[in-house]
Structures are given as C-alpha cells and as structure tokens.
C-alpha cells in the first residue's frame, strides 16, 4: 500500500481538518446528540415547572426562554444536524461514491455549527436573558419587545442557515454527480432519494429564513419598518415569511426520517420495499405541496375566506402522498418474515405514532376547528408526535441499524429493546394527555395553568422524566458498543439488509469505494 | 441545458449558490411588495389605501344610509389622549363627510405620532375613500398642547348592499424616536 491509502491523521487535527465524510458524519452525529441532551435538559425544566399548577421553580421570563431555546435547539441543533450527519455517513456508501463531492466545504459546514450554537446558548447569560419569544420568533415580540440578546440570536440563525445550505449543496452535488456506474436515479436507495429532495427544499427555504431574520435585524437596528405598523409595515407579513420557510422546514425534518424507515422496514421484513416508485413520487409530491400550505399555521390572523379554504384543502391534500407512504410500509411488512430487533421496533413505533401525529395534523388542518385548537396544548401534542416519534425515533432506529457497520461491534440488544419500550411508553405518557388538556383549552407556552389541568400535567411531566432518562440509557449503550461491544466482521450485519453499504467490510474502512462498484 | 462549468460538481454548485441568493432576494423584492399589493387589492387586514383620493363628482346615493363608527386606540405605551369627536355618523354613499379626531400630548416633551387605520369589515376597505386624513402624515405635537386632526371621506356608491355599518379604527403609535432619527440622518 502506498501513501494513497492512509488512515486518519492523529489527534485533534484529524477532527479539525478532516475532509472524510465518515469523520464529518461522526462529528455531526455527536454534536447533534449533545444538542439533543441540552434541548432535552431545557424540556425537563419546562416539565418540572409544569409538574404542579402555580409558580414552582422558575420565573415566567425564564420559562419563556426555556420554551424558545428548547424549540430552536431541538429543530436546528439536534434533528437537522443528526440527519445531515447520517447523510454524510451513508449517502456516499449507498451510491458507491468514495466521498462527498465537496469535502472541504463539508468540513466548513460542520465547523461553523458549534460556534453558532455556542452564541445561541450564551444568550442565556446575557443581560435581559435569552430570546423568550418562542421558536417561531413572531414580530413584534422578536423585534420591538425583544431582549438585547436578539441580535446574537439573529447572527446564530444566519450562521446555522449557511451551514444547512452548504450541507445541502454538497448532498445534491454528490447525489447528482457521484453515483456509481449503473446506479440510475430510480435505483437509488430511498434514503438517498428523500435526502436529495430534502436538500432542494433546504436550498429553497433556508435563504427565506435568513431574509426574515435580516428584516428583523434591520427593523431593530437600522430603522426600517418591515414588521412595524407604525412605519407602514405589518407584523402579519412576518408570519407569512416565517411559515413560507417553516412549513417546508417540517418536511425537511421528516423526509429523511421517511428515508430511514424505508431502509429499515424492508431489512427486517426480508422483503423489498413495496411500491418503490410510488414512494419516490410521494416524496416529491409532499415536497411540492409543502410550498403552498404555509398559511395553515396562521388561520386566525384574519385571512379572507377564500384563503382559508385554499390552505385548508391544500393541507388536506398532503394526507394523500403521506398515506401512500404509510400504506407502502405496512404492505412491505405484510407476510414478511419479520423479526423485531431494536431498529425495527423503533420503526414500528415511528409508524404507529407518526400516523397518530398525522391524524391530529388533519384535525388541525380544518380551518374552523383550528380556531379552537390554535396555540393550545393540542398543537404541542401534535408536533411532538411527528417531530419526536417521527424524526427522533427514526434517527434512533438509524443509529442502532448502522452502528454495527460503523464501528464493527454489536450493541446490546436487550438494552436496546429496553430503551425502545421505555422511550415508547414514556413518550406516550408525556404527550398523549397533552391532547386532552389542549382540547380542554390549556394554552401553550405558559408557566402556570388552571387547576383542572393539574393531573394530566403531572402525568405529562412524569412521562417526560421517563423519556428523558431513557436517552441516557441510549447514550450508555452506544458508548459501551463502541468501547467494548461484541466484535462483528460480517459485511451484512443484518441478514435482510440490502444496499451497497452492506458490501463493504465491517467496520467500514476509512476509505470506501475508491474504485466504483458495479451496479446491475 | 445551460452549463456554468465543464466540471459537473462546479456546475451544480454554482447553480445552487445562485438559487440560494435568488431565494434570499426573493424575500425582499417579491414577498414584501407582493404582500402589500395583495393586501391593497383584496383589502385584507382592513388596510385602507394610504393615499389621498381625488374623486370625480358623482351623485349622492340618498337611498341608503351607512353608519360609520370611529374607534381610537393607543398603541402600548403611547401616552396621548386620542379620541374621535363623534363616535358614529350616518352618511350617504357618494357624499363628502368631515369629522375630527382630538389628540393631546400630556407630556412635557415634544412628540411625533403616526396613526394607522384599519377598516372592519375588511370587505368595505376598497370602498372607503379618504380625501383628507391625519393618517397620511406624521403628526407632531408640542409638549402639553392639543390639536384637532381632520378626516374627510367618501363612501363609494359601489359599496356592497349588505354592508350597513363600517368601523374605522385608528391606532396611534409613538414614533418620536424614529422621526428624530430620520432628522438626524438628514
């Protein structure tokens, strides 16, 4: 072997200067887990305060900072980077490419993330406290009434938006140009497909978010009046711009999760994915529809009736491609030789709970009903069913599924299954009662509540502590696997798994597919 | 298809960078103006046309009477006393009507205010024409003085028949700081 086949550099510089897609993927995954723990800690503070009615632990102002930072960190720090990390690790291996198309930009797009979140987290220690206007940062709360730290928040959104855009450009360039010979678009694994479409969504809407925060910056510091009625602007304009970004954003979060589930369910059903082509078209349809439904987040701002109807019908239409996906997954399992290892358990958990979240989404899409549900805990329950049981469960499944390939060691299956069941039960104890208190009228983002909501809130809090604690078990299991898991050298760790990533050695060597594989 | 570079990676990267910059620009040069145009055309948000209306003389429609109600609201922290002289008027479509709002600056410093109108029901907004309004301009008021602020309007004869009452609401904003800022900039 010549110099060409070198391994990783030693020490810290390996991680600082690496252009290896596996190293960068690993850093993304660890970073996002750290953010998941931080955002989770904020959630624990929220649930501890809500354990009983009345003011218990924290000041209302601090409570608002917690809900804001919890949302921002979970969306931008935990879920999005975790899937980018997974894309970095898996896409080159799935399409038979030696690395990402733009490895130096890849390094850069990761390394600007930690400073961005450091800036965001540091606002907690600033005068006036951290941003307290909710993760949706509606103007004028985030402009006229914002704490001084809002400028740091804006800068951090700019930086992490830049990171996302660079990561997406990289993924698109990789998928379009670096597929192995014979790997046509319609032969790509579904995870690659969903990420390709997600990356296009990101390139289209992250600049819109950057535009929104830039307008905030100008309103706050440069005397413009985009969102200030006194100067001829309009706060409702902010909501339109935010949700024009925000609705595609929720599909940015969930589409890669769909991709993961579409890889894992066939593997443990020992059947090819049912309806591959329809899965691809459904993904594209969801991506298209995501651009024309944004105002269903703002039914109550006083839209004309024609607007309400348009956004209501367009939103309901999304249930069609999503239903296609859910039925395809179920049909894949139908009469398969199913086994229930941890990744499969998480995928089935995903399927059940995501579908519940989808149904509550349909309820919320009905404009006249939404006037009742708007800004209630019902909404909180809805989006945690799709974000946590959707994105986080599928991400957890992905880690269990590919971890043996990454490090050449098996995780502890018993502990994995225990983690699943505690998560599943804890999650439902946390969020199912929130449907009830929401329908009964409990508003979101409040540190105190009426006495009749006390029992369900206590239940919710207990569930949250259980769910939170189960993530420590996950962390322990992953570290124990890397350090002292049972070694495995099977190329195909799972006997039903299909795809190019299972044709390389286990653990995956530092460089793979330096000569492209032949794809039939 | 148009190619930026022979290298396919450079080509797609360059195109995607252009798309990102275009989407950033899209927010400023398309979304903001489009939103304002849509609000004006559809009368969404009860926004009235912020410009002076010059009418062609037309016959007054005496067959029906419209009640116009006036509401005055202070934005948070705005200390002025601000109220309409009359809270409601009965008017005929096509007729020119005058009324007055009163404002008083109770503080010991000079201030500048801006009134922002809103019409309810918003469907009526395109039919509510102002020929003179204090909301067209910033309203400076010296310390502890008061002023009468005139409003002249015409209800369009084309106003849908089912609308019998129109509420015109003004919210008054303290823009002293912004106004002095623009003076300083000048």
Task: Establish whether A99 is a catalytic residue.
Answer: yes
Helix (H, G, I), strand (E, B) or coil at B118: strand
| Number of other CB atoms surrounding residue A232 within 10 Å | 13
Q: Are strands A409-410 and B66-74 parallel, antiparallel or unpaired?
A: unpaired
User: Across the beta sheet with B165-174, what order do the strands follow?
Assistant: B88-91, B66-74, B165-174, B111-120, B139-141
Catalytic annotation present for A270: no
- For chain B, give the number of residues: 186
Contact B175, A231 (CB under 8 A): yes
Q: By CA distance, what is A105's nearest residue in B?
A: B13
Q: Which residues contact B159 (CB under 8 A, 6 or more apart)?
A: B66, B93, B124, B127
Q: Are B114 and A168 in contact (CB < 8 Å)?
A: no
> Which residues in chain B touch residue A203, judged by CB atoms under 8 angstroms apart?
16, 19-20, 23
Out of B75, B171, B178, name the one closest to residue A231 (CB): B178
The whole-angstrom distance between residue A318's C-alpha and the CA centroid of its chain comes to 19
List the structure tokens of A485. Answer: 């898991």
Residue for token pair 């998928």: A175
State the architecture of B47-185 in CATH terms: Sandwich (2.60)
**Alpha helices, H only, B61-175:** none
Q: Is A101 on the interface with B (CB under 8 A)?
A: yes
Question: Residue A145 in contact with residue A209, Cβ under 8 Å?
Answer: no
Phi, psi of B73 (to 5 degrees): -130, 140
pLDDT at A481: 96
Chain A residues touching B44 at Cβ < 8 A:
302-304
pLDDT for B24 beyond 90:
yes
Instruction: Note the pLDDT of residue A163.
Output: 97
Residues in chain A within 8 Å Cβ distance of B36? 234
DSSP codes, B2-68: --S-SSHHHHHHHHHHHHHHHHHHHIIIIIHHHHHHHHHHHTGGGPPPSS---PPP----TT--EEE
| A127 classed as catalytic | no
pTM for this model (two decimals): 0.90
Which of A101, A225, A241 is nearest residue B31 as measured by Cβ atoms?
Answer: A241
Listed by start position, the domains of chain B span: 8-42, 47-185
**Residue in A108, A111, A135, A138 annotated catalytic:** A135
Question: Quick one: pLDDT band at residue B61, thresholds 50, 70, 90?
Answer: confident
- Report the number of secondary-structure helices (H) and strands (E) in chain A: 18, 2
Q: Of A133, A42, A28, which Cα lies nearest the Cα of A78?
A: A28
Q: Which residue has the tokens 């990783």?
A: A8
pLDDT of residue B91 exceeding 80: yes
| Contact assessment for residue B31 and residue A234, using Cβ atoms and an 8 Å cutoff | no
Contact A134, A67 (CB under 8 A): yes
Does A177 touch chain B if contact means CB atoms closer than 8 Å? yes
What is the enclosing helix (H) or strand (E) of A43? Answer: helix A21-49
pLDDT of residue A449: 95
Name chain A contacts of B173, Cβ cutoff 8 Å.
Answer: 229-230
* Mutation choice for A interface testing from B5, B18, B20, B182 by most A CBs within 10 A: B20
CA A6 from chain center: how many Å?
34
Which of B10, B17, B23 has the highest number of chain A CBs within 10 A, making it the mutation to test binding with A?
B23
Instruction: Give A-chain residues touching B74 at CB under 8 angstroms.
Output: none
A226, A466, B65 from A379: Cα distances, Å = 28, 22, 45
**Which residues of chain A does B175 touch, with a Cβ-Cβ cutoff of 8 Å?**
230-231
Separation in Å, CA of B125 to nearest CA in chain A: 13
Residue owning tokens 């944004």: A294
Q: Which residues of A40-58 are buried (b: 16+ CB within 10 A; e: fewer)?
A: bebbbbbbbbbbbeeeeeb
A158 touches chain B (CB under 8 A): no
Residue A210: its chain B contacts at CB < 8 A? Answer: 24
Choose among A327, A320, A334: nearest CA to A272: A334
Residues from chain A contacting residue B51 (CB–CB below 8 Å): none
Q: Which of A228, A322, A396, A481 is catalytic?
A: A322
Please say whether the beta carbons of A497 and A405 come within 8 A.
Answer: no
Report DSSP letters for A94-161, one per residue.
Answer: HHT-SS-S-HHHHHHHHHTHHHHHHHHHHGGGSTT-S--STTTT-TTTTTTT--TTHHHHHHHHHHHH
User: What's A175-191 look like in SS3?
Assistant: HHHCCCCCCCHHHCCHH
The Cα of B103 is separated from the nearest Cα of chain A by a number of Å equal to: 17
Per the CB < 8 Å rule, is B122 touching A208? no
Residue B36's pLDDT is what? 81
How far A214 CA lies from chain B's nearest CA (Å)?
10
To which H or E segment does residue B72 belong?
strand B66-74
DSSP letter at B120? E
> How many residues are listed for chain A in this entry?
520
In this structure, are strands B165-174 and B66-74 parallel, antiparallel, or unpaired? parallel
User: Which residues neighbour B99 within 8 Å (Cβ) at sequence distance 6 or greater?
Assistant: B70, B84, B85, B86, B89, B150, B151
B157: left (phi over 0), alpha (psi -120 to 50) or beta: alpha
Instruction: Specify whether the CB–CB gap between B106 and B146 falls below 8 A.
Output: no
- Give the pLDDT confidence of A264-308 residue by residue, as tens digits: 999 999 999 999 999 999 999 999 999 999 999 999 988 888 899
Per-residue pLDDT tens listing for chain A (520 residues): 444 556 787 888 899 999 999 999 999 999 999 999 999 999 999 999 999 999 989 999 999 999 999 999 999 999 999 999 999 999 999 999 999 999 999 999 999 999 999 999 999 999 999 999 999 999 899 998 999 999 999 999 999 999 999 999 999 999 999 999 999 999 999 999 999 999 999 999 999 999 999 999 999 999 888 998 877 788 999 999 999 999 999 999 999 999 999 999 999 999 999 999 999 999 999 999 999 999 999 999 888 888 999 999 999 999 999 999 999 999 999 999 999 999 999 999 999 999 999 999 999 999 999 999 999 999 999 999 999 999 999 999 999 999 999 999 999 999 999 999 999 999 999 999 999 999 999 999 999 999 999 999 999 999 999 999 999 999 999 999 999 999 998 899 999 999 999 999 999 999 999 999 988 7
Shortest distance, CA A228 to any CA of chain B (angstroms)? 10
Rounded-to-integer distance, Cα A83 and Cα A391, Å: 9
Average pLDDT value for chain B: 85
Residue of A nearest to B172 (CA): A230
Q: Which two tokens stand for residue A382?
A: 């809805």
Q: Which of A177, A204, A229 sits opposite B12 (nearest CB)?
A: A177
Assigned architecture for domain A23-502: Up-down Bundle (1.20)
Partner residue facing B9 (CB), from A101, A168, A244: A101
Beta partners for residue B84, in sequence order: B101
ipTM of the complex in this document: 0.88
Q: Does A280 touch chain B (CB under 8 A)?
A: no
pLDDT interval class at B131 (50, 70, 90): confident
- Give the residue from A379, A461, A507, A488 showing the smallest Cα distance to A57: A461
Q: What is the pLDDT of residue B119?
A: 87
Which of A207, A225, A304 is opposite residue B24, by nearest beta carbon? A207
Q: Which long-range contacts (CB under 8 A, 24 or more apart) does A492-495 make?
A: A493/A404, A493/A405, A493/A410, A494/A267, A494/A268, A494/A341, A494/A401, A495/A270
**Nearest-angstrom CA–CA distance, A336 and A331:** 9
Query: Alpha-carbon distance A498 to A105, whole Å?
Result: 30
pLDDT band at B54 (very low <50, low <70, confident <90, very high): low
Residue appearing with tokens 């599928």: A394
Alpha helices in A270-392 (DSSP H): 276-289, 305-317, 319-333, 342-365, 367-373, 377-386
- Nearest CB to B173: which of A102, A168, A229? A229
């Amino acid at each position: 072997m010549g110099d060409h086949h070198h391994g990783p550099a030693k020490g810290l510089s390996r991680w600082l200067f690496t252009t290896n897609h596996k190293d960068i993927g690993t850093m993304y995954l660890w970073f996002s887990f750290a953010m998941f723990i931080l955002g989770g800690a904020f959630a624990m503070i929220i649930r501890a305060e809500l354990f009983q009615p009345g003011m218990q632990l924290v000041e209302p102002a601090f409570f608002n900072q917690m809900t804001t930072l919890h949302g921002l960190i979970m969306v931008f720090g935990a879920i999005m980077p975790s899937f980018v990390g997974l894309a970095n690790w898996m896409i080159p291996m799935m399409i038979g490419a030696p690395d990402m198309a733009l490895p130096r930009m890849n390094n850069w797009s990761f390394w600007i993330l930690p400073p961005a979140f450091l800036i965001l987290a540091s606002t907690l220690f600033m005068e006036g406290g951290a941003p307290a206007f909710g993760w949706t940062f509606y103007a004028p709360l985030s402009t006229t009434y914002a704490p001084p730290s809002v400028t740091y928040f804006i800068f951090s959104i700019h930086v992490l938006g830049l990171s996302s855009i660079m990561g997406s450009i990289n993924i698109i360039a990789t998928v379009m140009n670096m597929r192995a010979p014979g790997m046509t678009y319609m032969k790509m694994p579904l995870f690659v497909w969903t990420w390709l479409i997600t990356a296009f969504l990101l390139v289209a809407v992250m600049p819109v978010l950057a535009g929104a925060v830039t307008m905030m910056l100008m309103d706050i510091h440069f005397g413009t009046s985009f969102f200030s009625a006194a100067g001829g602007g309009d706060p409702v304009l902010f909501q339109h711009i935010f949700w024009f970004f925000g609705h595609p954003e929720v599909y940015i979060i969930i589409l890669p999760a769909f991709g993961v589930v579409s890889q894992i369910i066939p593997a443990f059903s020992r059947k090819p994915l049912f309806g591959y082509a329809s899965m691809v078209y459904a993904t594209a349809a969801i991506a298209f529809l995501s651009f024309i439904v944004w105002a269903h987040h703002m039914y109550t701002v006083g839209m004309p009736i024609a607007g309400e109807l348009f956004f209501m019908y367009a939103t309901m239409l999304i249930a069609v491609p999503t239903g296609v996906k859910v039925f395809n997954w179920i049909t894949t399992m139908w009469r398969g030789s199913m086994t229930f290892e941890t990744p499969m358990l998480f995928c089935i958990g995903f399927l059940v709970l995501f579908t519940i979240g989808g149904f509550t989404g349909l309820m919320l899409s009905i404009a006249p009903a939404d006037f009742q549900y708007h800004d209630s805990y019902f909404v909180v329950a809805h989006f945690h069913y799709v974000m946590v049981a959707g994105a986080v469960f599928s991400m957890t499944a992905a880690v269990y599924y590919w971890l043996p390939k990454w490090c050449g060691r098996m995780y502890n299956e018993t502990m994995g299954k225990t983690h699943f069941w505690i998560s599943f039960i804890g999650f439902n104890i946390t969020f199912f009662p929130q449907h009830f208190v929401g329908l009964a009228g409990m508003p979101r983002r409040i540190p105190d509540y009426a006495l009749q909501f006390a029992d369900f809130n206590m239940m919710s809090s207990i569930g949250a502590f259980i769910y939170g604690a189960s993530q420590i078990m996950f962390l322990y299991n992953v570290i124990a696997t890397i350090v002292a898991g049972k070694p495995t050298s099977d190329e195909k760790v799972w006997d039903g798994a299909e795809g190019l990533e299972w044709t390389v050695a286990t653990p995956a060597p530092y460089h793979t597919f330096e000569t492209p594989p032949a794809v039939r | 298809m148009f190619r930026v570079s022979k290298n396919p990676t450079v080509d797609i990267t360059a195109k995607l960078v252009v798309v990102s910059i275009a989407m950033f620009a899209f927010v400023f040069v398309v979304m903001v103006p489009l939103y304002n145009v849509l609000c004006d055309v559809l009368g969404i948000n009860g926004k009235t046309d912020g410009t002076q209306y010059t009418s062609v003389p037309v016959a007054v429609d005496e067959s029906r009477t419209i009640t116009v109600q006036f509401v005055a609201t202070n934005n948070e922290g705005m200390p002025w006393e601000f109220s309409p002289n009359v809270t409601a008027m009965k008017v005929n479509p096509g007729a020119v009507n005058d009324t007055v709002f009163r404002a008083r600056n109770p503080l010991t410093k000079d201030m500048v205010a801006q009134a922002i109108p809103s019409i309810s029901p918003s469907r009526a907004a395109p039919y509510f024409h102002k020929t003179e309004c204090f909301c067209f301009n910033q309203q400076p008021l010296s310390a502890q003085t008061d002023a009468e602020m005139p409003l002249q309007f015409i209800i369009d004869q084309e106003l849908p028949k089912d609308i019998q009452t129109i509420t015109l609401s003004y919210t008054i904003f303290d823009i002293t700081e912004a106004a002095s800022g623009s003076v300083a900039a000048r």
